[in-house]
Amino acid sequence: MDAFIEKVNNLIGDPALTAMLVSLVPLIELKGAILFARASGLGFFSALGASYLGSTIVAIPIFFLLVPVLNLLKKIKWFNRFACKVEEYFKRKAESVKNKKGKLGETGIKMLGVFIFIAIPLPMTGVWTGTAIAVFLGLKFKEILLPVLGGNLVAGLIISVLAELFLPYVDIILYILFALVVVMLVVFIVKVALTKPKEEKSLSEEKKQVGGNGGEKEE
């Protein structure tokens, strides 16, 4: 791991810039970038600052490009199922946020849900997924700013403190994180390959119903 980190830093030339670029990668994001930066020798605040900046900026293109990109992929035969599956995933997450009750009003609950989702530093949570959920919740860009900025900061502080406490084992933690990323990618790809989108399911169910009705008429 040390050799790998050194090669990456030598390739880019600056550990802080490396951390910022690593934080842009889905699944790795802020969490992996901070660990990578600390393993590279950056201090507490330098690692947090560089990783936070990169992982927060990515919310802008996600918010404005997610839906257009998914709509484009739906028109391409090879990517249609993948795009539909991704859209269904974020819609389910958004629906779970909508179902929460509280005294903040509908928009306030949505914003709080996005904030909590981003603030919890676990696999499959972060700015990428949180911003995508905000898009399907129908939030405006100005309404996601506070949840993204605040949630990502909380997550960054938690990971930074944990990295500081377990600094001698940061290489091992990185191995575990990268292994989790690989496993999650494989699981997601398998699910996309094996699961039919809702549109295909509804069509197949309609065909079965038509066939069943036809059979009854013949009898």
What's residue 189's pLDDT? 75
Residue 205 has pLDDT above 70, yes or no: no
For 78, other C-beta atoms within 10 Å of its C-beta total 7
pTM greater than 0.85 (yes/no): no
pLDDT band for position 56 (50/70/90)? Answer: very high
Name the one residue in this structure whose structure tokens are 């995508």.
132
Segment 132-182, tens digit of pLDDT: 999 999 999 999 999 999 999 999 999 999 999 988 888 888 888 888 888
Close Cβ partners of 62 (under 8 Å, ≥ 6 residues apart) = 127, 128, 131, 132, 135
